[in-house]
Amino acid sequence: MKNLRLVIKIGLGFAILTLIACILGGMAVVNMNAVGKDSTRLAQEYVPEVDIANDFERNALLAMYAWRGYTFTKGESYLEDGKKFLDLTQETLNQAKVHADTYPQLVKLREALPIAQEKIDHYKELSLETIKQLDLQDELINKQRTTALELVDHANTFLQEQRTAMEQDIQSYVPVEQLHERLQKILLINEVLDLNRESRLKFWTAIGERNTEYLDQALEIIPQIIERVGALEKITREEKDQKQLEAIRQTALTFQTCVEASATNWQAIQDANSQRVVAGAEAMSAAETIVHAGLEQTQHIANTAMNNLSRASVTMLVGLGLGVIIAVGTAVFLTRAITVPVYKGVDFAQKIAAGDLTAEVDVYQQDELGILAQALRDMVAKLRHVVTDVQASSNSVAAGSTELASISTQMTGAATQTSGMANTVSTASEEMTANMHSVSAAMEQASVNINTVAAAAEEMSATVHEIAQNSERAKTTTANAVVKAQAASVRVGELGQAAQQISAVTETITAISSQTNLLALNATIEAARA
């Protein structure tokens, strides 16, 4: 890791953060897609299923209510409503079939539809049967009414004739037995009228209270009417009266047939009503099954979506926490990987700038910081070599100065020996001695002083040559002085070159120090950026 370049390290850090964000975003997208699919299923499958089932249930209930109202009241409005809501129920079933075919996974809907269709078809058949039986009931009621009125007409006619005949018998003073017989006829026909009235009352009570027991009671009365008619026939002799009694008997029998048919019709209506209620209840049960299945599946999908959202929230929180930890760890690691070498480099540069050429920087990596550290180490190594060369040159200069001082001392001794021979030589020797002392005091003026010494030596040489004839010893001494002066001149020249080299080395050190300070400043800036 430490051998990677800075751009790769920084890019890797951002890549890790981007990867964490992508992972968290991907998990969120996956969970949201799952919730979206569940929501789509709710919106396209189960909510319409429940809505269709509710419409079916509502229309079926309204149809049942309307048909029950029609059964009780025979109102045309109830009949129209019953037919209308049955048609709406069938339309709802058709919609449910289309929905079930579109979404085959709605198993409960597909299973309940045939049952619901069967029950609705049966309910329609029972509704038609109810209409038929109610129409038959109306016919029977009308026939019963007509028959009862005919019986009353025949009975009243017979009664009126018997009253007229009795008045005639009374006026004719017929025997008491005949009057008693006539009175018996009047009483019997009145009983027939009363029984007919009572049977009709029972019939209408049965219709009004919707209780077939009254029909049974009405049927029990009719034989009594037949019995009274039979009693009348035994004491009736005239043919026209017998025809009247036969008509009463036939109307009574017809009335009995109407009552019996009404009882049968009533039972058929009750059976149709009961079967219709059962069929409606079964259709409602099928609708409830669809509704419950849709609601259960809706609740299941809602719970699943809620769990997915909760899991997504927890995952996001945990992932965010882990992402923060990883991001902080990565940031700390990358920061330390960058700043620690930078701080070491800055410390190293500061030590070098302070003049400590023994300082070391222990940064060994292949990135930019490692390259910088190696460059600093190379620079210090070269700087140490330059300083060593400078020290060697300085030592050479010091040795030359010492040798020059020794030569000057020898020249001073030689000059002292020749001072007695020539004032010129003495003066030159004194000047040379002074110049040598000046060279040892200040190397900056050594070149000038040595030149002066050289000139003085030349003058001394001329003077020695002039006085050579006077003193052989002086000549020898002067020659030696000239040789040593020339050597001193060479040394002074070398000293000047050494001084120039020292100046160049000093400039190099100054430039290196400036570069070192610049590198330290750049390293500090990079560390602050990191």
Q: What share of the chain is helix, strand, coil (3-state, %, to 5)?
A: 90, 0, 10
Side-chain half-sphere exposure of 69, counting CA atoms within 13 A: 15
* pLDDT at position 152: 93
Comparing CA positions, the residue from 141, 138, 159, 270 lying closest to residue 218 is 141
3-state SS, residue 444: helix
* pLDDT at position 372: 72
* pLDDT at position 186: 93
* pLDDT at position 422: 41
* pLDDT at position 2: 59
* pLDDT at position 450: 43
Residues 336, 527: Cα–Cα separation, whole Å: 10
| Token reading at 255 | 């009335």
Alpha-helical segments (H) within 442-471: 446-466
* Rounded (10°) angle between helices 368-418 and 472-529: 160
Query: Which segments of the chain have a pLDDT < 70?
Result: 1-7, 9, 13, 334, 337, 357, 366-369, 386-387, 390-391, 393-496, 498-507, 509-514, 516-517, 519-521, 523-524, 526-528, 530
Q: Indicate the pTM of the whole model.
A: 0.54
Specify the residue for token string 């699943």.
304
